[in-house]
Structure 1
Amino acid sequence: MPTNRRWLCVPLLLSTALVAHAVVPAALPASVESTAPAANVQTPQAAWATMTPQLKRELRARYAAWQALPEGERQRIAQAAAALAAMSATQRDALQAHFQGMDQMHRDGWLLGPRLGAFYAKLQPLLGYLPAEQREPMLALLHQLDAAQLEQLSLISQRTPPQERAALREQLLALAPAQRAAWLQQNVAR
């Protein structure tokens, strides 16, 4: 894989690894694995019992993010997990270091899956502070948009002043799916 493509895959591959920790009970975080003696293999239940509340919350959030993904996104993540597993330890370490060097906001955005994760940094102004009651409807709406529409929404998100974002989200959520394309075009043109 060419170097420039490899770096573009970093978030997808590493978000896959992060989601895998939440989905595959045997895949324990390094902090848990390193606390267990090599001769004494812990069961997933025993490892869970030794985790901090913060780590448990993080794993639950990853698992919830995984459950919220459409099946196609889960398949893409499974393929990325296979690609990550096939890499050498040196390559995985380099990718991990690159991913850990990213801002936490960007890393968290990849929990939305590879398609939305690629747009998250641009959508973050609009989505970063969603009220709880808007989270599920907004994620469902975003999964229905194609790449061109996500790009349009990204532009709208970045142009909208903070004090107008709540109204914009409400307006977008109130639209019928058939009206979204025209609404996006109209708001991009402003």
Structure 2
Amino acid sequence: MSKRFCLLVLLGAAGLVHAAPDRTALPLSVPAGPGAIGSPAAPAAMPWQQLGAEQKRQRRSEYAAWRAMSESERARVRQAAERFAALPLAKQQELRDQFNAQDQAFRDGWRLGPLLGEHFSRLQGMFGYVPENQRDATLAMLRQLTPAQVSQLTLVAQRTPPQQRDTVRTEFLSVAPAQRDAWLARQVGR
């Protein structure tokens, strides 16, 4: 069973819960608590009125992350969730345990969808802690990228020294979509 499949399934399990949409911007890093993605304690069928404030916040956050994904990404997650549901309960629990054993920042990266989630551990240094005034633009830009662009961006993020990350990220945000391939090629070629 691939790690990627496990992560997609657990992301889907969180996205399939029923919650009211959150009207706030989706942060790049969301702290998790009880009922987090993939948690066996996540009571998907519990009525909204019976949830505590933290559980409601968590559900809203999960729902916002789900809604922010493209339909094709949600379809991939649904397919993975169906495959996951067909597994024996012991295997499901094993996969949940593997996911929950990962670093919180790694788990939170999967809320951004399958493409960004797969690469987020390598993007996190540059995009994991974005100033509030850049979050919406950053998320919108990241979601517009092709798989090839995300791969190149991971190289840029990994090669950029910590003291230059803010500058490089801000520069990338200012690049017009039609110029991103050229910008990435220049950065990767350095």
Per the TM superposition, whether the score is higher than 0.5 is: yes
Q: Are 2:5 and 1:9 equivalent residues in the alignment?
A: yes
In the alignment, structure 1 segments of 5+ residues that lack a partner are 34-41
- Amino acid across the alignment from 1:17: A
TM-fit CA distance, 1:137: 1.6
**Distance between the aligned counterparts of 1:124 and 1:130, measured in 2?**
10
How many positions carry a matched residue from both structures? 172
What secondary structure does 1:87 align onto? coil
**Distance between the aligned counterparts of 2:59 and 2:18, measured in 1?**
5
Within-5 A mapping of 1:1-190: 3=1, 6-21=2-17, 23=19, 29=35, 31=41, 33=43, 44-48=47-51, 51=52, 53-190=53-190
TM-score, reference length from structure 2: 0.82
- Amino acid across the alignment from 1:66: W
**Distance between the aligned counterparts of 2:171 and 2:133, measured in 1?**
15
Q: Among the aligned pairs, what percent are the same residue?
A: 41
Specify whether residues 11 and 32 from structure 1 end up closer, same or farther in structure 2 by C-alpha distance, changes over 3 A only.
closer
TM-fit CA distance, 1:56: 2.5
**Residue 31 (structure 2) aligns with:** none
What secondary structure does 2:16 align onto? helix
**Contact persistence 1:32–1:47 (CA under 8 A):** no
**Contact persistence 1:11–1:110 (CA under 8 A):** yes
TM-score, reference length from structure 1: 0.82
Aligned Cα root-mean-square deviation (Å): 2.2
TM-fit CA distance, 1:44: 1.0
TM-fit CA distance, 1:43: 5.6
TM-fit CA distance, 1:31: 4.0
What secondary structure does 1:97 align onto? helix
In the alignment, structure 2 segments of 5+ residues that lack a partner are 21-34
Specify whether residues 93 and 184 from structure 1 end up closer, same or farther in structure 2 by C-alpha distance, changes over 3 A only.
same
